[in-house]
Copies of this chain bind each other. A is one copy, B any other.
Amino acid sequence: MPVRPTAEPPTGAAHDRVYRTLRTRIMHGELAPGAALTLRGIGKEFDVSMTPAREAVRRLVAEGALFLSTSGRVSTPELTNERIEELAALRALLEVELASRALPRAHMALIDRLQSINSNVAEMISKRDAVGYIRTNLEFHRTLYLRAQAPAMLAMAETVWLQLGPTMRALYGRLRRTEPPQNHRLIIAALKAGDEPGLRLAVRSDVTQGLRLLAG
């Protein structure tokens, strides 16, 4: 069918729906590193032709969320240790700045919200739910960074998250910890105290620690 023959239930353009769904899947670690995708397979799953599937895949490749082999095959990326460390450094650089910019705007309502999200994070950890953990953890960070009023910077941080998605799955699927997120508590405490150096340190630690285990 050409263009929206009848009114569709919720979504807009087909390629955008495919893109958003795949993006969320990758960012949340629902795909393992190196997982292969095919245009026809995607088209079949979303009940569209190859054209919108291709556009969605291209977009994700441009963002570094998918890897394109020389022969055109697409798969989730298998990152080298150097790459992982670099992306962790990027997270630190960007997210420390975002947190710092959010700090003067962080009111009590935001802190309450972060504490609420953080209890969900703890629940996911106790349930050993890797995907749920990644999702709620990113929600925690995004909620804070949204207060920074810096959309381009946040978009860039999300691009890094995207690139790390499959690797994070492999990481958190591997180590079986049950401790609640200590660094998140430090972040919240620093926000309450208006302690900028403490906030920067806490964010840097939170962002760096997990990935160092895998890459170190």
Q: What residues make up the interface of A, taking CB atoms closer than 8 Å to B?
A: 13, 51, 54-55, 58-59, 61-64, 72, 83, 86-87, 89-90, 93-94, 97, 150-153, 155-156, 159, 163
Cα-based distance from A71 to B58 in the complex (angstroms)? 20
Q: Given that A54-B55, A55-B55, A58-B59 are contacting pairs, would A93 and B86 also be in contact in the complex, using a CB cutoff of 8 Å? A: no
Give the Cβ gap from A205 to chain B, nearest Cβ, in Å: 18
Whether B55 lies near A89 (C-beta < 8 A) is no
Q: Top 10 A-B pairs ranked by shortest CB distance? A: A62-B62, A59-B62, A86-B152, A58-B58, A55-B58, A86-B150, A58-B59, A62-B63, A87-B152, A93-B93
Instruction: List B contacts of A59 (CB < 8 A).
Output: 58-59, 61-62
Cα-based distance from A21 to B157 in the complex (angstroms)? 27
Q: Which of B63, B87, B93 contacts A94 (CB 8 A)?
A: B93
Given contacts A55-B58, A63-B63, A90-B156, 16 further A-B contacts (CB under 8 A): A13-B72, A55-B55, A58-B59, A58-B62, A59-B59, A59-B62, A62-B63, A64-B152, A83-B152, A86-B152, A86-B153, A87-B152, A89-B153, A93-B94, A152-B163, A156-B159
Instruction: List B contacts of A163 (CB < 8 A).
Output: 152
Closest-by-CB residue of B relative to A96 is B93
Whether B86 lies near A151 (C-beta < 8 A) is yes
Instruction: List B contacts of A51 (CB < 8 A).
Output: 51
Q: Which of A13, A62, A97 gathers most chain B CB within 10 Å?
A: A62
Q: Which of B58, B61, B62, B153 contacts A90 (CB 8 A)?
A: B153
Cα-based distance from A152 to B92 in the complex (angstroms)? 14
Give the Cβ gap from A112 to chain B, nearest Cβ, in Å: 28
Cα-based distance from A97 to B92 in the complex (angstroms)? 12
Cα-based distance from A83 to B152 in the complex (angstroms)? 7
Instruction: List B contacts of A54 (CB < 8 A).
Output: 55
Cα-based distance from A101 to B89 in the complex (angstroms)? 12
